Structure 1
Amino acid sequence: MKSIGVFFVLAAWGCTLPARAQKAFGSEKYATMCHYYGESDTAYIVMHAPAPAAEKVVQDIMAVIGLRANFELRSANVPTAAAVIKQGKRYILYNTQFMNNIISSTGNKWAAVSIMAHEIGHHLSGHTLDNETSKPATELEADEFSGFVLQKMGAALTDAQAAMAAIASIKGSHTHPPKSQRLSAIASGWSRAGGKFSETAMAAYAPEKPRTITAAPIVEQQKTETKLLTRAEKIAQSATYNKNVASEAYFASNPQGKYYVTTKGNLVQVDRDKVYLVGSLTASNKPGYKMMLTDIDSNTIYVGSGGMLVNNYGKKIGYLKSRK
């Protein structure tokens, strides 16, 4: 693996200078900004000079894409990280404690790098020019950019997805897509940069277009309709889930996701100790396949021989592994 140039200790992202010695850039109100995962805007932003380690990360990111930064980096009192334009100047803002916490909680030093790359992607893609808040489409573009950059810097796919896997919302919102789509976008960028998927992550995964999200449709369409299973079903899926799970499901776009097909024919996802109903197993409506998985929006995945999962175009996107 290539060297990232700087591997952070937990204190590296900020406060490397005494607070009184830091240069303050004042307090201003920002109406709109592109946040990392949809948190509320902070009414007044107070900016400070960035830590040397954070500046080095930005330099490393810009080096792999061969461009000069069209923004200034600042530590600030934003909830996580954000890209913003104020009075004609572009800024990347990051919260020191959040960056340190994401490294600590994931145990992955690439997590903070991926977040920084995501925000840089917003500026380089022109997302901050329309004076609007985050939108699902632009968030996916920034996610893909992040995956592309991290592969070029030497990160594995799991490294590139570490932050998103840890903190993204499984259901998404009106501003940010659900976790499955965001992980898929990162995987798409990582693959486009030359990354090769492991056997577990399905070597056949190769999206036709950079922004095409090729995760299983029923995983993509969780949206707000995705619901928690009943308490009884959740308990059944915990300590005694072996009795209730017929097979494990793996998807190329989210190799770390925990998906299962239950003995009742439900496709569920386990995330942060919660169980989500994603879709159901039913008789296939397509010649050549006996069974298919479908969600409430009638999106389908077909179950082929040996448990292979294919989309409506016949492309392999995952597989089922029987627990029997």
Structure 2
Amino acid sequence: MKKVLLSILTGFVMVGSSVVLPGQAAAGTVAERAYVAPAASGRDVISEIIDVVGLKARFEVRAANVPNAAAVILNGKRYILYNEQFLSQVNNALRTDWAGISILAHEIGHHLNGHTLSKGGSNLQDELEADEFSGFVLRKMGASLSEAQAAIRLLAEERDSYTHPGKKNRLAAISKGWGNAQDQIVASAKAGTPSRTVAAASTSAMRETPVTTTARRSVSRMPAQYILRQVKLVSAPQERIYVTTQFNLVRETEDGIEVIGKLQKTNNRNYPYVLESRYFSDLFVNTNGLLLNEDGERVGVLTTT
């Protein structure tokens, strides 16, 4: 995918494969008019991807009249070039922005793995390495395995070509990268929790969650000043579960407030907290307050009450 990333969607008209940058086409030519200015959204995604791997972006991101997306070196300078219409069509077809993000992550993988320094063009091994990088990055950014594989599942050819692997091998490479990132996330979260045992309610914790047995079920029995966040679970939308100001995880029952777990800090900046409970498996909290299980699936959210 250093020159051509993916097979084009059926019915998608393939534009010219030549790369056009400002000043390289004669004034008034079709190529110059076809050039699109750099897209802020593309640059924002690149920043997120680079932030995940902890490196500096030593390349420019440009929307251009390429067929889909490409990592190239022009006049000694590195570029990530992409076709805005192509990415938009892929995202719309799959109904997820993760498709376009995975394509850009793949191209970044080519640069960071040094593939663009060779003059041999695309080859099977380089493509698999870039796919693995894409899977790794998308898991770090919060995508599920299905979301990380969506673009390749739709667009890749079934069989190997001279330059690109077949769909099965490419999906496996993405899965490998995604799994490696998942292992890091789980290990980091566990390392950041001093104890996997749910802390028992202390006397002070009990004082912060007074029980009012006469209160109606629809009204929280806990004073608002002691509630840090409410836990909304997709599988149990009617449950009233809260994180208290002392980071206890509590559940409202007919008999009062029950301490069921703890909000713990981790060493992972993308998943700074984990919810531990005897009622469900660990749920990781990302920087947007989304709750994800160990398979990377979004299962809930932390909200204000």
TM-score, normalised by the number of residues in structure 2: 0.51
Shift of 1:126: 0.3
Q: Does 1:156 align with 2:144?
A: yes
CA drift of 1:177 comes to 0.2
Q: Distance in 1 between matches of 2:84 and 2:183?
A: 30
Q: State how far apart, in whole Å, the 2-side matches of 1:98 and 1:38 are.
A: 11
In structure 1, the residue matched to 2:18 is: 44
Secondary structure at the counterpart of residue 101 of structure 1: helix
Equivalent position SS for 1:73: strand
| Aligned CA distance change for structure 1 residues 103 and 38 (closer, same or farther; 3 Å) | closer
CA contact (8 A) 1:57 1:113 kept: yes
SS at match of 1:50: coil
- Pairs within 5 Å for 1:58-69: 58-69=46-57
Q: Does 1:120 align with 2:119?
A: no
SS of the residue corresponding to residue 90 of structure 2 reads helix
SS in 1 for 2:20: strand
Superposed CA offset, 1:225-280 (max 9, x none):
xxxxxxxxxxxxxxxxxxxxxxxxxxxxxxxxxxxxxxxxxxxxxxxxxxxxxxxx
Tell me: CA distance 1:38–1:132, structure 2 relative to 1, closer, same or farther (3 Å). farther
CA shift for structure 1 position 33:
4.0
Deviation at 1:34, TM superposition (A): 3.4
Match of 1:103 among 83, 86, 91: 91
Gaps of 5+ in 1: 1-31, 197-324
Structure 2 alignment gaps of length 5 or more: 9-13, 22-35, 185-305
Q: Encode CA deviations 1:170-194: one digit per residue, 9 max, x unaligned.
A: 1130100000000000000000111
Aligned match of 1:34: 3
Task: Pick from 17, 42, 45 the counterpart of residue 54 of structure 1.
Answer: 42
Secondary structure at the counterpart of residue 164 of structure 1: helix
Q: C-alpha distance in 2, partners of 1:132/1:76?
A: 23
**Residue identity opposite 1:127 in structure 2:** H
Q: Give the distance between the partners of 1:185 and 1:41, measured in 2 at CA.
A: 29
Shift of 1:132: 2.1
SS in 2 for 1:177: coil
- Report how far residue 195 of structure 1 moved: 5.6
Give the 3-state SS of the residue equivalent to 1:35 in structure 2: coil
1:44 partner letter: S
* Residues 166 and 195 of structure 1: CA distance in aligned 2, closer, same or farther (over 3 Å): farther
Cα pair distance change 1:38/1:84, threshold 3 Å: farther
| SS of equivalent residue, structure 2 residue 19 | strand
Deviation at residue 122 of structure 1 after TM alignment: 0.1
For 1:177, the equivalent position in structure 2 comes to 165
**In 2, distance between residues paired with 1:173 and 1:97?**
25
Letter of the 1:35 counterpart: V
Instruction: Tell me the distance in 1 between the aligned counterparts of 2:104 and 2:41.
Output: 12
**2:102–2:135 contact (8 Å) kept in structure 1:** yes
Q: How far off its partner does 1:46 sit?
A: 2.0
**CA–CA separation in structure 2 for the residues paired with 1:157 and 1:166:** 14
Q: CA deviation at 1:43?
A: 4.9
Higher mean Cα deviation, 142-151 or 63-72?
63-72
The answer as to whether partners of 2:91 and 2:100 remain within 8 angstroms in 1 is yes
TM-score (norm 1): 0.49
Change (3 A) 1:43 1:147: closer
- Report Cα offsets for 1:123-160 as digits up to 9, x if no partner: 00000001221100000000000000000000000000
**Structure-to-structure mapping, 1:137-216, within 5 angstroms:** 137-194=125-182
> Partners in 1 of 2:120 and 2:72 — Cα distance?
10
Corresponding residue SS for 1:60: helix
- Paired residue total: 165
Percentage identity across paired residues of the two chains: 50
Counterpart contact for 2:102–2:151, Cα < 8 Å: yes
Question: Residue 37 of structure 1: CA displacement?
Answer: 2.4
